[in-house]
Amino acid sequence: MSKGLNDSRTDFPILDQEVNGEPLVYLDNAATTQKPVSVLQTIMHYYEHDNANVHRGVHTLAERATEQFEAARDKVAAFINAPSRKTIVYTRSTTESLNWIASSFGNAVVNEGDEIVISELEHHSNVVPWQQVAKNQHATLKYIGLTADGELDMDDARKQITDKTKIVAIAHASNVMGVVNPIKELAQLAHAHNAYMVADGAQSTPHLKVDVQDLDVDFYAFSGHKMLAPTGIGILYGKPEILDEMEPTQFGGEMINEVHEQAADWKESPWKFEAGTPNISGAIALGSAIDYLNNLGMDNISAYEQELVDYTLPKLTQIDGITVYGPHDPAKHTGVLSFNLEGLHPHDVATGLDMDGIAVRAGHHCAQPLMEYLSCEATCRASFYFYNTKEEADRLLDALNEVKEFFANGTSKAERTV
């Protein structure tokens, strides 16, 4: 490894700033990650030197843009151990990827009386599209429950997934509870009932080494902006035999083979799904982000984030009046920590932390069914990435105690030090 994790912060200029007079502590990585200089430079270089549309041009700039665009597709395939570039479809986001699966594939294979199985942990992007398929096809949408400590209940999974099940769609890692779900086991269970396995990899791909062939998922979706790349670029992986049979959901330039007055046919996968001018710079920058992550090593990233959780979670659970959602065993937890302070609204807590320069997210995190399941309206969420430090974790813990004291006694840190 040519670059150590401890040295990586210097690659992220946005982290070197003050917010409200305090050094920034950025703990909103589950929503979006910051971008290293190398990724920013890749975007600038493309627009300064290679900006042209892909695939359709024979001039030099178009050829250079196409070469970089398709080279990035190869990097994505290698990063998740996909069998070929033809299994990698560029989209705008995890959300768009999941919607495409639901609207194109889901509506084609789900019939009246069939069942779709998701879980109580899912992001709205992996709930609402399947609600629509169930409604359109007069099918049943079923939910796998959770154990007492917030893990997916595999005993319940075995009850919910039956011979009526056509689709099982589960997050690889929860954006609220901080748990990694047993996707490989779920895929085996789904396939045993002749169902298809869809995995939402938005919260796992940036943090874990992903092998879609080992997981044996039929589809896998993730977003670039949660793994150092820009917003607006996403990936849909699909098994080649399934993508070959799927119909595109958008039509126009790029994706066609031939068009006549009354008929048209499409290119092969994945290009038949990529109508119109794609996010070329975003795709190339995603390739650069993957280079950066590979340089650090995904195993190193996972191990370091586990150190941060091992350090932070026990101390977080010891704060008086705090409720931490998800497993309290750090070994079962990703870098996503969701919590509430008794008697305080999460928005008030997040605002108080922001006054100390600490960025966390507060709300339902696009997981309202899970909030209902937990009998709460919202939570605070601190989410770590490899450029965070134990010192920043200490700042979070100290600030939470200060926020508690402020709301209890009406005094701020500045007032107490005068």
The residues annotated as belonging to the active site are 366
Distance CA 97, CA 150 (A): 26
The residue with tokens 């989209």 is: 91
Contact predicate 327/338, CB 8 Å? no
Residue 142, both tokens = 């079923």
Q: What is the DSSP string of 262-307?
A: S-EEEPSTTGGG--SS--HHHHHHHHHHHHHHHHH-HHHHHHHHHH
Q: Specify the DSSP class assigned to residue 108.
A: H
For CA atoms 77, 174, 187, 246, the dihedral sign is negative
Q: Which amino acid is at 32?
A: T
Distance of alpha carbon 381 from the chain centroid: 15
Identify the bridge partners of residue 235 per DSSP, sorted by sequence position: 90, 222
The residue with tokens 């970089």 is: 68
The residue with tokens 């049943």 is: 140
Residue 184, both tokens = 């490989």
What is the Rg, in whole angstroms, of the alpha carbon atoms belonging to the chain? Answer: 22
Helix 298-317 / helix 280-296 crossing angle, nearest 10 deg: 80
Distance CA 283, CA 231 (A): 10
Residue 179, both tokens = 């748990």
102-134 CB burial, b ≥16 within 10 A, e <16: bebbbeebbeeebbbbbbbbbbbbbbbbbebbb
Residue 319, both tokens = 């704060």
Distance CA 85, CA 67 (A): 13
The residue with tokens 């959901």 is: 249
